[in-house]
Structure 1
């Protein structure tokens, strides 16, 4: 699961954007902190062979639906159910995107309640696998694809976003990739080391648009 993330403008996210778009002059991203579902987020998608940057509402609204609705949780899409989902099957086959992020928040169950944990790469940014759709020819929206947690991630949460390295990015955006090829990206393994640290519970409030404040030790997830 992924319910909040951060985009921090600077060299790390700019490098990821250049890698994703295959262009050293790729657009730069502005800082967005404690981003929550239904907010607008940057996505990179491939259109007629060209990679494009767009803003999308982070809560997928299917093209065939009656419009934006929060009745069903559509900001995460479980990898295991993409082929059987009316909302996700089409986008999985034809409308895949990348969400560039600097870090994301997961909530770990503890004896004293849920503790927010910030998960990030050291000196690098993270590429989430996403799906997109357009409703009424005007609303572009997206969802983050999630899979079972890796062994090192499982103590924090039993789900994690599908995170992609350069090979995975290219495969995910390629319109010619087969379902079988794409499903290899859903294995519960980390494609690069991650760092995890407890952060102040102020981040629980989506109106708090600040950098997470560490309140415990950093540990490495391999």
Structure 2
């Protein structure tokens, strides 16, 4: 799954990578983005303007918070299947966390660039799409977020329709190579949202 991530890039760094896009004030300087918080997203309806969405859907039957959507069942689950045509979004990030036990690990691309999680949105809320873990997770977790290469952003945010091509993108085995390192357990508490979350953490010896 994906339960925490970072959006730390400055406006200048984002514009250098993505070109002229509109960014909300909450975009940068965030080291511990968590469910139920506002996040920046690029939506199909306006792919050059990042807008605010609350991370997480409410399950209409149980009331439970749903923060992830499995790529394998997107076209089947009633909560998600009707959103694939016109409610796709990208959640920009520059890193994410995953846990093995209580120890958090921080994942970034090799060049530490901004990337996009595949997502779905509705009524001012969003979820992150996940997939089976690949070699990037190195035994830390069995799931990971779907990361869309920047060359595919326009295809993912294409005009309404093209559900088949969207499913092809999120089911692809191609993901960027990621680096990972153990970081401070400060990130385990949502109230901690500062650069100290990325301080070095202890290395567990049972990863492989």
2:139 is matched with 155
Q: Distance in 2 between matches of 1:50 and 1:194?
A: 25
Where 2:106 maps in the other structure, the secondary structure is strand
Where 2:85 maps in the other structure, the secondary structure is helix
1:169: how far off? Answer: 1.1
Q: Distance in 2 between matches of 1:51 and 1:169?
A: 11
Tell me the TM-score normalised to structure 2 length.
0.84
Residue among 142, 151, 154 paired with 1:167: 151
2:183 is matched with 199
Residue among 47, 51, 56 paired with 1:54: 51
Residue among 33, 37, 40 paired with 1:35: 33
Determine if the alignment matches structure 1 residue 92 to structure 2 residue 84.
yes
Where 1:171 maps in the other structure, the secondary structure is helix
Q: Distance in 2 between matches of 1:114 and 1:192?
A: 26
1:39/1:189 CA distance change after superposition, 3 Å: same
5+ unaligned residues in a row in structure 1: which ranges? Answer: 19-23, 135-139, 218-222
Q: Distance in 2 between matches of 1:154 and 1:187?
A: 20
Contact conserved, 2:39 with 2:52, CA < 8 A, in 1? yes
- After superposition, residues 98-113 of structure 1 pair within 5 angstroms as 98-108=90-100, 113=101
Where 2:79 maps in the other structure, the secondary structure is coil
1:214 is matched with 200
Q: Distance in 2 between matches of 1:143 and 1:115?
A: 24
1:130 is matched with 119
1:186 is matched with 170
What's the CA shift string for 1:106-148, capped at 9, x where partnerless? Answer: 012xxxx3310000122311211010001xxxxx000000011
Q: Distance in 1 between matches of 2:114 and 2:48?
A: 19
Q: Distance in 2 between matches of 1:176 and 1:91?
A: 10
Contact conserved, 2:118 with 2:170, CA < 8 A, in 1? no
1:190: how far off? Answer: 4.5
Contact conserved, 2:118 with 2:147, CA < 8 A, in 1? yes
1:114 is matched with 102
2:8 is matched with 8
1:61/1:53 CA distance change after superposition, 3 Å: farther
1:183: how far off? Answer: 2.1
2:21 is matched with 26
Tell me the TM-score normalised to structure 1 length.
0.79
Contact conserved, 1:4 with 1:104, CA < 8 A, in 2? yes
Where 1:184 maps in the other structure, the secondary structure is helix
5+ unaligned residues in a row in structure 2: which ranges? Answer: 204-208
